[in-house]
Amino acid sequence: MGRLSGKVAIITGAAGGQGAAEAKLFALEGAKVVATDVQDELLQQTVKEINAEVGSESVIGLKLDVSNEQQWIEVVNKTVENFGTVDILVNNAAIFGKLGASVVDVPAEEWDAVFKVNAAGNFYGIKHVAPIMKEKKSGSIVNISSIAGILGGMGSVPYTASKGATRLLTKAVAVELGEYQIRVNSVHPGSVLTPALEKNATPEIIERMAKNNPLNFVGSSMDIAYPVLFLASDESRYMTGTEIIVDGGFSAR
């Protein structure tokens, strides 16, 4: 307990799945958390449940469409108004696109929509928290990419490409912001049983995912939240511009 005491974190995509797990874990570890999501009703219910479990009002929920830069500005301003600063940003929000679709069948609108959320959304968040972190000369930014950001053929073409963009956005910004003691790292989950996966994949696909892992199971959201916690905390103070793969050993094959 207390690994994030005194820290203020913004977490996107926190209405459920990995983002909700991260918000809960961060709050349990002493952080003040601004949980954000475009699904406001679900977000507020999740925030209520987390605060009840933590036993405090450590988490607040703010509606955010990460593809909208003006909404990012408003969320960052409200975070500072409520908690005084921003120490941690977790860019978790993402959408998939149609799984298994050939590149020739992907509509341009789908490509644009996926990149607006998965790539531009991360960029906007970094752009608007960086000045705060630069002024205080500290901060940790964690971008949730995917094993698809390292290996090809791991999902829809737009999703895979956007997660690769996230990986290199991480490295580019880490180099730029290092002199301000701002660390920027990425986490690359493999198969994780989130509401988004359950919505987009059949039970047969999920079973096949489990069998493809040397550990022979599909991970949980909390399996991702703990590595994110490590990168958010001062325990990883000598790590920046790198990635942590959390995929049950899939990429080791």
pTM: 0.95
Query: Following DSSP, what letter does each residue of 107-119 receive, concatenated?
Result: -HHHHHHHHIIII
Distance CA 122, CA 143 (A): 7
Above pLDDT 70, what percent of the chain?
99
Q: Which of 124, 159, 226, 238 is catalytic?
A: 159
- The answer to whether 118 touches 221, Cβ cutoff 8 Å, is no
Handedness of CA 36, 39, 40, 43 (dihedral sign): negative
Q: How many CA atoms lie within 13 A of 57 on its CB side?
A: 3
**Model pLDDT for residues 2-26, shown as the tens digit of each residue:** 999 999 999 999 999 999 999 999 9
Beta carbons within 8 Å of 150's beta carbon, 6+ residues apart: 164, 167, 188, 243, 245, 251
CATH 2.60.40.10 fits 8-246, yes or no: no
Total Cβ atoms within 10 A of residue 108? 8
Q: Is the confidence at residue 97, as pLDDT, over 90?
A: no
The pLDDT, as a whole number, for residue 201 is 75
For 136, 219, 252, the CA distances from 212, given in Å and listed in that order, are: 45, 12, 11
Verify whether residue 180 is a known catalytic residue. no
Report domain extents, the chain: 8-246
**Model pLDDT for residues 108-132, shown as the tens digit of each residue:** 999 999 999 999 999 999 999 999 9
